[in-house]
């Protein structure tokens, strides 16, 4: 059974299924969770703290998420386009909501390679 | 894979990616791990980076500690900071009775001398009765023959550092320093010993007792821990009499103690130096005052030779 991710502080709580997360962007000392339907939810945790919550709460499900540089965590299931020359990463959910993210060429190279490898392995299986 | 290292989640460059839930930047295990991990192998191993971070943090912490210790070191000239306790040495422990002498003169003379290129001022009381005083020294200046600040006062709580007995009353306990001075029935004794029966005698016979650094013991200098330079002052047993010896320039404890030993001092404990107040009455002039009165602490204390007249 897939468990929800709970991001909670002393006053607020966000309970969200991993599959509902498109990406999470750093916003200074806060983070913005962008859901698969395009909603943006501000949480009062730094991106590293959110990453830690994902890792600790979601177990193997956490590996659906990839931290890209200092600025964003993506749900790799929603990777749509990668453009290394333009340093662009397109995310799109099943509901059709899309987000364009910026990332370094080097990180996008690694991400592209990872996606290709991962997909190839799944096909072999 | 989990990691409890919170700093791990904050360490990533913009050129790296990391699969969440793994402790490295490598992608999750695949059937072709070599290929899958190729792109991220260009990045430094996070564990190595953690080690580097830990080393950096440890080095910074160590530097901070060293700096803090340096700041806390007794600068000497201020009596408000308790120096690092002097470690006893059995070789250097002496019998205090060997340095006992009686004081009877009536004024204080001051002489200068030089030893090891260190200029000294030697204040010798002639007459008067030695005692310890806590608080305002201004109250009875007409009777003072010689006075100097005695035991250190701790900067953190304003209390006297080490054991202190005032007219038989125990004001402070503790043994941060091995040197001591007792005044019992007009008999002044200085020495270096962790436990001395003179402590109990001072209580039983309404005497006085304080502790300070022992700088010279049995004619040998004691190299104590506190560093730094300041005007140094000490209560000394020199050629059969008790005197206060002061350096005219800022000196380290080491150099000052060595100079005292070379000068012939047989036993001596430090007094508060630096800008601490010193009063003495020459034979042919009124009471002279040098240094500053310390009114910051209630327990600022003095060794004073009071005239009986």
Q: How many CB atoms lie within 10 A of CB B290?
A: 14
- Alpha carbon separation from B235 to A17, B154, B186, B205, B277 (Å, rounded): 78, 20, 16, 22, 14
pLDDT digits (tens, 9 = 90+) for B165-201: 999 999 988 777 889 999 988 788 888 888 888 888 9
User: B96 vs B109, which has greater pLDDT?
Assistant: B109
pLDDT digits (tens, 9 = 90+) for A55-74: 999 988 899 999 999 999 99
Structure tokens at A80: 């749509």
Cross-chain CB nearest to A114 (options B14, B39, B43): B39
Across the interface, whether the CB atoms of B17 and A65 are under 8 A apart is answered no
Cross-chain CB nearest to A68 (options B2, B9, B17): B17
Residues 6+ apart with CB under 8 A from B270: B179, B212, B213, B214, B215, B232, B233, B234, B235, B253
Residue A119 contacts B where some CB pair is shorter than 8 Å: no
In a domain, B151, yes or no: yes
In a domain, B276, yes or no: yes
- The whole-number pLDDT of residue B94 equals 35
Nearest CA in chain A to B41: A110
The three-state (H, E, C) secondary structure of chain B, written as one string: CCCCCHHHHHCCCCCCEEECCCCCCCCCCCCCHHHHHCHHHHCCCHHHHHHHHHHHHHHHHHHHHHHHHHHHCCCCCCCCCCCCCCCCCHHHCCCHHHHCEECCCCEEEEEEEEECCEEEEEEEEECCEEEEEECCCCCCHHHEEEEEECCCECCCCCCECCCEEECCEEEECCCCCCEEEEEECCEEEEEECCCCHHHHHHHHCCCEEEEECEEEECCEECCCCCCCEEEEEEEEEECCEEEEEEEEEEEEHHHHHHHHHHHCEEEEEEECCCCECEEECCCCCCCEEECECCCCCCCCEEEEEECCC
Residues in chain B closer than 8 A to A55 (CB atoms): 2-3, 9, 20-21
Cross-chain CB nearest to A63 (options B16, B28, B38): B28
pLDDT digits (tens, 9 = 90+) for A3-23: 899 999 888 899 999 999 999
| DSSP three-state, residue A1 | coil
CA B123 – CA B111 distance, rounded (Å): 7
- The whole-number pLDDT of residue B70 equals 60
pLDDT band at B245 (very low <50, low <70, confident <90, very high): very high
- The whole-number pLDDT of residue B113 equals 92
CA A51 – CA A66 distance, rounded (Å): 9
Cross-chain CB nearest to A58 (options B14, B21, B39): B21
Domain that holds residue B200: 104-306
Average pLDDT over residues B303-308: 86
Average pLDDT over residues B107-115: 91
- The whole-number pLDDT of residue B78 equals 36
- The whole-number pLDDT of residue B6 equals 65
CA B250 – CA A66 distance, rounded (Å): 64
- The whole-number pLDDT of residue B169 equals 92
Sheet with A79-83, side-by-side order of all strands = A79-83, A88-92, A98-102
- A to B CB pairs, distance under 8 Å: 94
Residue A62 contacts B where some CB pair is shorter than 8 Å: yes
| DSSP three-state, residue A111 | helix
In a domain, B42, yes or no: no
List the single range of B110-114, B225-229, B302-306 with lowest mean pLDDT: B225-229
pTM beyond cutoff 0.90: no
Across the interface, whether the CB atoms of B30 and A121 are under 8 A apart is answered yes
Across the interface, whether the CB atoms of A117 and B6 are under 8 A apart is answered no
Nearest CA in chain B to A60: B21
CA B307 – CA B127 distance, rounded (Å): 7
Across the interface, whether the CB atoms of B17 and A69 are under 8 A apart is answered yes
H helix or E strand, kind and range, residue A74: strand A72-75
In a domain, B137, yes or no: yes
Residue A58 contacts B where some CB pair is shorter than 8 Å: yes
In a domain, B229, yes or no: yes
Cross-chain CB nearest to B12 (options A63, A64, A70): A70
Residue A38 contacts B where some CB pair is shorter than 8 Å: no
Burial class (CB in 10 A: 0-12, 13-18, 19+), B187: middle
- The whole-number pLDDT of residue B57 equals 82
Domain count, chain B: 1
CA A19 – CA A124 distance, rounded (Å): 24
In a domain, B297, yes or no: yes
In a domain, B98, yes or no: no
Cross-chain CB nearest to A117 (options B15, B22, B36): B36
Residues in chain B closer than 8 A to A70 (CB atoms): 12-14
pLDDT digits (tens, 9 = 90+) for B68-91: 766 555 443 333 333 333 443 322
The pLDDT mean for chain B works out to 77
Across the interface, whether the CB atoms of B2 and A103 are under 8 A apart is answered no
Nearest CA in chain A to B13: A69
In a domain, B139, yes or no: yes
Across the interface, whether the CB atoms of B16 and A110 are under 8 A apart is answered yes
Residue A16 contacts B where some CB pair is shorter than 8 Å: no
């Amino acid at each position: 059974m897939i468990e929800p991710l709970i991001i909670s502080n002393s006053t607020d709580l966000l309970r969200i299924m991993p599959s509902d997360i498109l990406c999470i962007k750093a916003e200074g000392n806060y983070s913005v969770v962008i859901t698969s339907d395009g909603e943006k939810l501000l949480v009062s945790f730094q991106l590293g703290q959110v990453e830690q919550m994902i890792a600790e709460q979601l177990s193997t499900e956490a590996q659906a998420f990839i931290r890209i540089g200092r600025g964003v965590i993506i749900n790799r299931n929603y990777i749509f386009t990668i453009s290394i020359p333009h340093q662009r990463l397109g995310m799109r959910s099943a509901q059709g909501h899309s987000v364009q993210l910026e990332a370094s060429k080097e990180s996008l190279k690694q991400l592209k390679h990872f996606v290709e490898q991962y997909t190839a392995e799944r096909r072999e299986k | 894979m989990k990691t409890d290292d919170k700093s791990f989640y904050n360490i990533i460059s913009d050129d790296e990616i990391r699969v969440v839930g793994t402790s490295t930047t490598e992608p999750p295990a695949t059937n072709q791990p070599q290929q899958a991990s190729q792109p991220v192998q260009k990045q430094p191993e996070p564990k190595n980076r953690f080690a580097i971070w830990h080393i950096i943090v440890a080095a910074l912490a160590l530097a901070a500690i060293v700096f803090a210790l340096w700041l806390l070191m007794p600068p000497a000239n201020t009596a408000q900071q308790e120096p690092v306790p002097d470690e006893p040495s059995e070789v250097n422990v002496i019998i205090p009775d060997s340095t006992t002498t009686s004081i009877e003169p009536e004024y204080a003379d001051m002489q200068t001398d030089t030893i090891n290129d260190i200029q000294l001022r030697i204040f010798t009381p002639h007459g008067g009765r030695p005692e310890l005083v806590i608080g305002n020294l201004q109250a009875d200046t007409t009777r003072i023959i010689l006075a100097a600040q005695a035991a250190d006062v701790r900067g953190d709580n304003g209390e006297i550092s080490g054991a202190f007995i005032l007219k038989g009353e125990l004001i402070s306990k503790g043994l941060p320093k091995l040197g001591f001075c007792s005044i019992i029935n007009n008999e002044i004794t200085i020495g270096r010993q962790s436990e001395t029966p003179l402590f109990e005698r001072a209580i039983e016979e309404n005497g006085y007792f304080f502790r300070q650094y022992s700088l010279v013991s049995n004619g040998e200098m004691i190299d104590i821990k506190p560093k730094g330079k300041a005007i140094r002052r000490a209560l000394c047993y020199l050629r059969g009499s008790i005197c206060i010896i002061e350096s005219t320039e800022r000196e380290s404890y080491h150099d000052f103690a060595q100079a005292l030993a070379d000068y012939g001092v047989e036993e001596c404990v430090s007094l508060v130096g630096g800008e601490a107040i010193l009063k003495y009455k020459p034979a042919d002039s009124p009471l002279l005052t040098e240094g500053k009165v310390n009114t910051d602490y209630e327990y600022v204390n003095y060794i004073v030779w009071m005239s009986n007249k």
